[in-house]
Amino acid sequence: MKNVNDQKDIESTKEWINQTLKEIQRKMVELFDIDFTYFRDVKILRQPELIKQLTQRMRNGLEENGVVYTDIQWIQICEILSKSQATGFFENFAFYNPKDEVLYINGKMIANHPEKIISVCAHELSEKLLSTYLSSSSGAPKQALVKMLVEAEKASNAEKLYELLSDEYIDMVFLTVFKEGCCEAIALQTLRNMGYEIEAASMDEDLQMGHSKCINLLFEIDIGKRSQKGVRKVRTRLHSERRAAPATDEEKLVKEALRGYQIIKGVSYYLGYPLAKAVLEKHGIKGIKFALEEHPPLEAEYFANPQAYLTQLEKPIRVIE
């Protein structure tokens, strides 16, 4: 696995990943009684090509919702991803594209961190399982929000942007954090049932430790959502200085806010895992579906104290049980 530049080694590794993931998929179907298809193909890519494929997926998703950027703008986005601090994150990265049903894996992860292959790819299988299990309308609010954010940014309407960021966007962040945690919980439960107890225990410990280090991030945006003092101050400042402040200042403020929320997204699987694990263990996959679609956890307290959320979930979930 160390020499992923050798084509023979790449093909051998790809075959091993394929066989292992097919075993994990079969176990997921058996455990959760959800029949979902395997990937059409698995591709091991160098990091620049991986980022290019990810950018194309982003582009396709936005264009489906009527959000169109120019070719030059997408080249710039790809360059930003390539040069940003996020490149360290991409080193241990894999994703699947629903359009072509292909799982893309960064070759660097295979060369430098082979111990992460199973857990990372099992996470992607969990996402695929959830995409089959959840209703097709579950992604509609996110798509609509993305469109509103882009339209507000294009119109340089900072006031509207901050309204969205202080309400709908924050709710979407909480939902995304929980969903990422669900993928981790499903993946680890599957691996435990396949004899990977030691690996699963190590991953569980890592996720719990990461959660304890990052949980304050959710409380910070929760406080901002509830009080909206910071948002109101910014909106008041923008309103009072509208004549004097150039549009670039408003864009800077918005980008800084968005960057802060993206930091949370980058550690979402840590933040969402303990809560998702608690829901899965108590209510099974049906409980996960109900929580995501009907009763999402939108408060930081639930992620810090899963029992508080389970208590809130108790009455409404009885209907499906």
Q: Which residue is listed with tokens 């299990």?
A: 133
- Note the pLDDT tens digit of each residue in 9-58: 778 888 999 999 999 999 999 999 999 999 999 999 988 898 888 888 87
DSSP letters spanning 103-141? EEEEHHHHHH-GGGHHHHHHHHHHHHHHHHHS-GGGGHH
DSSP string covering 13-60: HHHHHHHHHHHHHHHHHHHH----PPPSEEEEE-HHHHHHHHHHHHHH
pTM tops 0.75? yes
Q: Which residue has the higher pLDDT, 270 or 241?
A: 270
Could you read off the pLDDT of 89-146 as tens digits, one per residue? 677 788 888 888 999 999 888 888 888 888 888 999 999 999 999 986 555 556 666 6
Cα angle 299, 221, 141; round to 5 = 65
Q: Is 245 left (phi over 0), alpha (psi -120 to 50) or beta?
A: beta
Q: Quick one: how far is CA 107 from the chain centroid?
A: 21
User: 168-192 and 158-166 are packed helices; what angle lies between their axes, rounded to 10 degrees?
Assistant: 40
d(CA 110, CA 116) in angstroms, rounded, equals: 8
Q: Which amino acid is present at 161? A: L
- What pLDDT is stored for residue 190 in this prediction? 97
Specify the pLDDT at position 62.
Answer: 72
Find the range with the poorest average confidence among 77-86, 170-179, 209-218, 220-229: 220-229
How far apart, in whole angstroms, are the C-alpha atoms of residue 55 and residue 182? 25
Q: Which residue has the higher pLDDT, 12 or 306?
A: 306
pLDDT tens-digit series, residues 266-292: 788 899 999 999 999 999 999 999 999
C-alpha dist (Å) from residue 181 to 4, 18, 173, 236: 30, 24, 12, 37
Express each pLDDT in 170-215 by its tens digit. 788 899 899 999 999 999 999 999 999 988 999 999 999 999 998 9
| 64/151 Cα distance (integer angstroms) | 15
Distance CA 153, CA 168 (A): 15
